[in-house]
Structure 1
């Protein structure tokens, strides 16, 4: 190794220690050298994430051990060089100011996935933003299905397992009156989070399976599905998105309490319309919910 790398044994030893600290299992044998015996069941770092360039359409990867939020980093990247931002994936191990819709704080601890994806669409209309949010939820559900997790979608942007939140999606779009110029899809998925406080009403892959799951595998699948689903929207095949959403929906036919614009609406979630807006049967007739502060099952 010294002759190949042209560095000293001490320098090699220091690099090996750094790799071991990252989680790689490396065996050392005096007079022989070092051997990578196996990768741990879950390893997320820049080197591993770079592999997604070979399996997805991702062109740029940005990795942070600690940041405020991947959405903040995505906006900085876009502002600095919009042309290079296209198909950029931003991943963080920890977020200090992770957020969901309506700027709600998103708990960002544990061995989870925190990521944002920048996409510069060619053919998306301003009203397509909700469908991109649906696409993010569907992508997560399909990815979790790969490991036997039966997740469902709660309108408009949550993924649930047994009515407990396992993931969420946030979409920020820049648009004019005729088209969306840029879209950032942020998503958080609870993977290897153990000992979840009951009051959070959250769950994780670990809590369901009782075993450690490879976050890179799930991240890879999410991005692959997300790219394919966005293409469907761009190609004016939103009906396919609605069909998939209905297949994994857990909102329709349930009694819900919705807070929207400081107004409480209680009724039965009956359907979504062609724009993805929720239709709720109330005592005063059908209410069309375009946006909401909260959606709660009763």
Structure 2
């Protein structure tokens, strides 16, 4: 474990760098199981993930050494189970903040866990919470951010900092900036600041007539928000509908 000199109080101050791992989230979960909790804010960073995962088991792959593949350990016992989507809001906004720092424009949070630039994905988030009673115990926050990858082959809806800025960016600098913004949003969350205004202003296709697919049903409507359970709220004019993760997809 390496001690860092990031200008943060705790996030990213302790980092373990791995050449290769199946998944940084899995690695952190094994650490928790075998050795107990690491220091709050600990980061696991890998040059290459062989079995990176997205939400609900979807696969996420990246070429070695090109992108930021990290997992953060955070103590989140101040959140109740019913408040856990607020953590998703805070993390999503932190990734957006980081990209904005690097002069990326038109950055949006695509519900529930992706970051988009216009119509292309630049980052994904996977949050896994441990629960104790009615509260969270702690959280593992996996973030994959496309930084220096140029060719995405058949993934036409993917992009990177390199594609946008036309130059490479140092991965450790990206991690440092991300750690700063994650810590800042974490403190806002802990102080019970309402993140809804920032989140909804950043939400992909918010309040725009858009097309969706729910189990083969194609319909149009406007995203008007997200409820306390993290369900997406879509106004179809005839009714207000709510959707859980995997129950609706965007037709772009």
Q: Same fold (TM over 0.5)?
A: yes
Instruction: Map Cα deviations across residues 197-240 of structure 1 (whole Å, 9 max, x no partner).
Output: 24341000001111011111211111111122122222222x2x
Indicate the structure (1 or 2) with the bigger Cα radius of gyration: 1
Distance 1:99-1:201 versus aligned 2 partners, 3 A rule: same
Distance 1:93-1:279 versus aligned 2 partners, 3 A rule: same
* Cα separation, 2, equivalents of 1:127 and 1:206: 38
Out of 49, 67, 87, the position equivalent to 1:132 is 87
* Cα separation, 1, equivalents of 2:36 and 2:171: 28
Q: 2:41 touches 2:74 (CA, 8 Å); kept in 1? A: yes
User: Which residue in the other structure is 1:271 paired with?
Assistant: 224
User: Which residue in the other structure is 2:202 paired with?
Assistant: 248
Provide the secondary structure at the position in 2 that maps to 1:137. Answer: helix
Question: Which deviates the most, 284-293 or 50-59?
Answer: 50-59
* Cα separation, 1, equivalents of 2:87 and 2:213: 22
Question: Which deviates the most, 182-191 or 272-281?
Answer: 272-281
Provide the secondary structure at the position in 2 that maps to 1:270. Answer: strand
* Cα separation, 1, equivalents of 2:248 and 2:170: 32
Moved >6 Å (runs of 4+): none
Instruction: Point out which structure has higher relative CO (alpha carbons under 8 A, 6+ apart).
Output: 2
* Cα separation, 2, equivalents of 1:70 and 1:293: 27
* Cα separation, 1, equivalents of 2:153 and 2:166: 16
User: Which residue in the other structure is 2:68 paired with?
Assistant: 113
Q: 1:129 touches 1:171 (CA, 8 Å); kept in 2? A: no
Q: 2:129 touches 2:138 (CA, 8 Å); kept in 1? A: yes
User: Which residue in the other structure is 1:152 paired with?
Assistant: 108
User: Which residue in the other structure is 1:207 paired with?
Assistant: 163
Query: In the comparison of the two structures, how many residue pairs are matched?
Result: 247
Out of 172, 177, 188, the position equivalent to 1:232 is 188
1:190 and 2:146 equivalent?
A: yes
* Cα separation, 2, equivalents of 1:193 and 1:295: 26
User: Which residue in the other structure is 1:72 paired with?
Assistant: 26
- The alpha-carbon deviation at position 98 of structure 1 amounts to 0.3
Unmatched runs of 5 consecutive residues or more in structure 1? 1-45
More helix by share: 1
RMSD, aligned CA = 2.2
Provide the secondary structure at the position in 1 that maps to 2:38. Answer: helix
* Cα separation, 2, equivalents of 1:109 and 1:99: 14
- The alpha-carbon deviation at position 283 of structure 1 amounts to 6.5
Q: 1:267 touches 1:283 (CA, 8 Å); kept in 2? A: no
Alignment of 1:97-108 (within 5 A): 97-108=51-62
Distance 1:167-1:187 versus aligned 2 partners, 3 A rule: same
Instruction: Map Cα deviations across residues 145-190 of structure 1 (whole Å, 9 max, x no partner).
Output: 1121122111111111121000011110111441000111110000
* Cα separation, 1, equivalents of 2:95 and 2:238: 36
User: Which residue in the other structure is 1:281 paired with?
Assistant: 235
Q: 1:98 touches 1:105 (CA, 8 Å); kept in 2? A: yes
Alignment of 1:5-24 (within 5 A): none
